Amino acid sequence: MSSQTKSLNAEVWSLSWPMILANLSIPLFGLVDTAILGHLPDSRYLSAVAIGSSLLSLCYWAFGFLRMGTTGASAQSHHEDSSALLVKALGAGILLGCLIFLAGPALRSVGLSLMNASDSLQPIASGYLYWRLYGAPAVLCSYAITGWLLGQRQARWPLLIAVCGNCANILLDLLFIIGLEMNSTGAAIASTISEYLAL
């Protein structure tokens, strides 16, 4: 193997491993919520969070282009253009996030109907989604920032962002769910605050 190939492999690995770890940390949000809510006597809270999280994942997945598109554009931009690109991407994230929040009542109604949530689960899941949708601008802005950082070959920052967000979520879950006994609403508020802290 030539020294040029070794150098390229090392560069690819240095960009890859932080993103691998960052992506592995993402399910921790759901795992922590599940672990804590699963110990509550009423299983409806866990079911409501599972339904709400699934709907949010599907909704945010549709805006994954904000991260991937920003990565490509950031990698090709010159130093002077990269800051302007970040501002545009953040503007798009804020706008799209606000639109998702404003469309929240329709998203909750249609989404819960499509998920066939039972009558006893619908109000709990709707309340969970209500609080989580406040975090939509933060989530989409984080997509934009992550994409921009990756394009700038700064792969360790997204890992740090993910770790900090997950740690905050764990602590806030313990506070709101266990300490303040807010159940699924506490899980939603903890996740939303964590999303803004990560941003």
Distance from C-alpha of 175 to C-alpha of 119, rounded to nearest angstrom? 29
**In the chain, where the domains are located:** 28-198
* Local confidence band at 141 (pLDDT 50, 70, 90 cut-offs): very high
* Prediction pTM value: 0.82
Mean pLDDT on 58-69: 83
Supply the DSSP symbol for 78.
Answer: -
* Local confidence band at 4 (pLDDT 50, 70, 90 cut-offs): low
Q: Could you report the per-residue pLDDT of 72-92, keeping only the tens digit for each? A: 787 777 666 778 888 888 999
Our separate counts of H helices and E strands in the chain read 10, 0
Per the CB < 8 A criterion, the answer to whether 163 and 107 are in contact is: no
Distance from C-alpha of 108 to C-alpha of 76, rounded to nearest angstrom? 39
pLDDT higher than 80, residue 7: no
Share of the chain above pLDDT 70, in %: 83
Mean pLDDT on 16-34: 65
Per the CB < 8 A criterion, the answer to whether 71 and 147 are in contact is: yes
Q: Where are the beta strands (DSSP E) in 82-181?
A: none
Tokens of 49: 């969070």
Per the CB < 8 A criterion, the answer to whether 184 and 37 are in contact is: yes
Q: How far is CA 42 from CA 36, 51, 143, in A?
A: 12, 16, 34
Distance from C-alpha of 154 to C-alpha of 84, rounded to nearest angstrom? 17
The predicted structure's pLDDT at residue 40? 80
Helix axes 136-151, 65-76, angle to 10 degrees: 30
Helix axes 104-114, 79-102, angle to 10 degrees: 70
The CB density around residue 45, as the number of other CB atoms within 10 Å, is 25
